Amino acid sequence: MNMISESLLNLAVELEKSRSQIMVSGDAEKLAGLFSDDLYYGHSGGYWDDKESFVQKFSDGLYNYHRVEIQVESATLAGNSSLVVHGKVTLQVTLHGTKKTMTSIYLAVWRKEVDVWRFLAHQTAMVQG
């Protein structure tokens, strides 16, 4: 692995670790600050949220994350201001009152907005098995 790809991977791990910690903390204000105003958050259940709907559901306790374990597998720059990340995630979460443990593969996109990395897009697919 060259130094550029290693530094991108380290950045991706740092950003994803921060996102995971905020999600488990339950702090909706911090989560809103992390998200881009243009957020697309695709769920493995076949539905999606924008920033407003995700933060509202998170704040209302409809999305209650107990544990988020992310394994970043790759990170690639898309232009000068976007970072595409993919890996695996295991969640312990209560969704709409139902406790679940889920393992998924995921794709995340971070975008640098006025020198701050913001979470722009996310899509998961459940791992069977």
- Domains of the chain, first to last: 3-126 (3.10.450.50)
Query: Is 0.85 surpassed by the pTM of this model?
Result: yes
Lowest model confidence (mean pLDDT) among 4-8, 32-36, 41-45, 46-50:
4-8
Q: Please state, as a whole number, how many other Cβ atoms lie within 10 Å of the Cβ of residue 22.
A: 22
Lowest model confidence (mean pLDDT) among 52-56, 57-61, 78-82:
78-82
Phi, psi (5° rounding) for residue 75?
A: -145, 130
Pairing of strands 82-95, 48-49: unpaired
> What mean pLDDT comes out for the span 10-23?
97
Q: Please state, as a whole number, how many other Cβ atoms lie within 10 Å of the Cβ of residue 29.
A: 10
What are the tokens at 115?
């020198």
